[in-house]
């Protein structure tokens, strides 16, 4: 979840091993990220910060990358909303996009539910993410997510 920022040897190790890597956006550490949620424009800032890391990884020869905008990591609920609305902007990378919205507090708090009761909200936002260009979903409820993917792809085959 660190985007390579917590271990200076991470990117070199990935390159040496030749393994795929999920590059997630995160500012700070899990302990400090809440105080780092300051953006001029969250979408443009996340894209710029991911671009720098993609360039570093490419320079090391890493080929298999998956991007994750890092929903909930150094992001406010309003930032998460904006990123979800702007998800098509991440197509500029021409890389697979992973989205992790499952049971996020921005879902269950808004609905007045517990995290375990947020399945419907999660499914709705997963569908929005698929329509916006997500190619992978990080989920807790696999069966329901698979159904959302199948129905979305059935109705709109290019998703």
Write out the catalytic residue numbers.
104, 138
DSSP letter (8 states) at residue 19 = -
C-alpha to C-alpha distance for 61 and 11, rounded to whole angstroms: 10
Residue 101, burial from CB neighbour count under 10 angstroms (0-12, 13-18, 19+): buried
Strand ranges (E), 100-147 = 136-137
User: Under a CB-based contact definition with an 8 Å cutoff, are residues 69 and 100 in contact?
Assistant: no
Cα-based angle 102, 118, 122 (whole degrees, multiple of 5): 40
Q: CA 18 to CA 29: how far, in whole Å?
A: 26
Q: What is the chain's Cα-based Rg?
A: 16
């Amino acid at each position: 979840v660190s985007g390579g920022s917590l271990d200076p040897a991470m990117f070199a190790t990935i390159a040496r091993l030749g393994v795929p890597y999920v590059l997630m956006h995160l500012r700070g550490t899990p302990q400090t990220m809440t105080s780092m949620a300051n953006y001029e424009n969250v979408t443009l800032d996340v894209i710029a910060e991911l671009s720098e890391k993609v360039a570093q990884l490419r320079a090391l020869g890493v080929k298999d990358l998956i991007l994750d905008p890092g929903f909930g990591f150094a992001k406010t609920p309003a930032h998460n909303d904006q990123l979800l609305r702007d998800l098509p902007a991440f197509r500029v990378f021409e890389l697979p996009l992973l989205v992790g919205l499952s049971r996020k507090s921005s879902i269950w708090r808004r609905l007045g539910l517990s995290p375990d009761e947020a399945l419907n909200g999660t499914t709705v936002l997963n569908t929005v993410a698929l329509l916006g260009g997500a190619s992978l979903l990080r989920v807790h409820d696999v069966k329901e997510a698979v159904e959302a993917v199948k129905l979305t792809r059935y109705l709109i085959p290019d998703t």
